[in-house]
Amino acid sequence: MAVDLSKTLIVMPAYNEEAVIAQVLKEVYSTNPGISCLVVDDGSRDRTTEISGQAGAIVATLPYNLGVGGAMRVGFNYALANGFDNVVQVDADGQHNPQDVARLVAELSNADLVLGARFAGSGDYEARGPRKWAMIVLAKLLSRSAHAQLTDTTSGFRASGPRAVKLFAQHYPAEYLGDTVESLVIAARAGFVIKQVPVSMRARAGGTPSHSPIKATIFLVRVGVAMLFAFLRPPVKEIGQSQL
DSSP per position, 45-107: SSSHHHHHHHTT-EEEEESS---HHHHHHHHHHHHHHTT-SEEEE--TTS-S-GGGHHHHHHH
pLDDT given at position 42: 97
CA dihedral 65, 68, 71, 76 (to 10 degrees): -170
Write the single-letter amino acid at 6: S
User: How far apart, in whole angstroms, are the C-alpha atoms of residue 55 and residue 36?
Assistant: 12
Q: How many helices (H) and strands (E) does the chain have?
A: 8, 7
Contact (Cβ atoms closer than 8 angstroms) between residue 80 and residue 244: yes
Residue of 27, 31, 25 lying closest to 11 (CA atoms): 25
pLDDT given at position 241: 42
Q: Which sign does the torsion angle of CA 149, 154, 160, 166 carry?
A: positive
Where the chain has pLDDT below 50, the residues are 120-124, 241-244
What is the chain's length? 244
pLDDT given at position 168: 97
Largest CA distance in the chain: 47
pLDDT given at position 123: 47
User: How far apart, in whole angstroms, are the C-alpha atoms of residue 57 and residue 90?
Assistant: 13
Classify residue 110 as exposed, middle or buried by CB count within 10 Å of its CB (0-12, 13-18, 19+). Answer: exposed
Question: Beta strand 58-62 with 36-42: parallel, antiparallel or unpaired?
Answer: parallel
pLDDT given at position 34: 93
User: How far apart, in whole angstroms, are the C-alpha atoms of residue 25 and residue 53?
Assistant: 10
pLDDT given at position 122: 47
DSSP state of 208: -
Residue of 69, 134, 123, 114 lying closest to 95 (CA atoms): 123
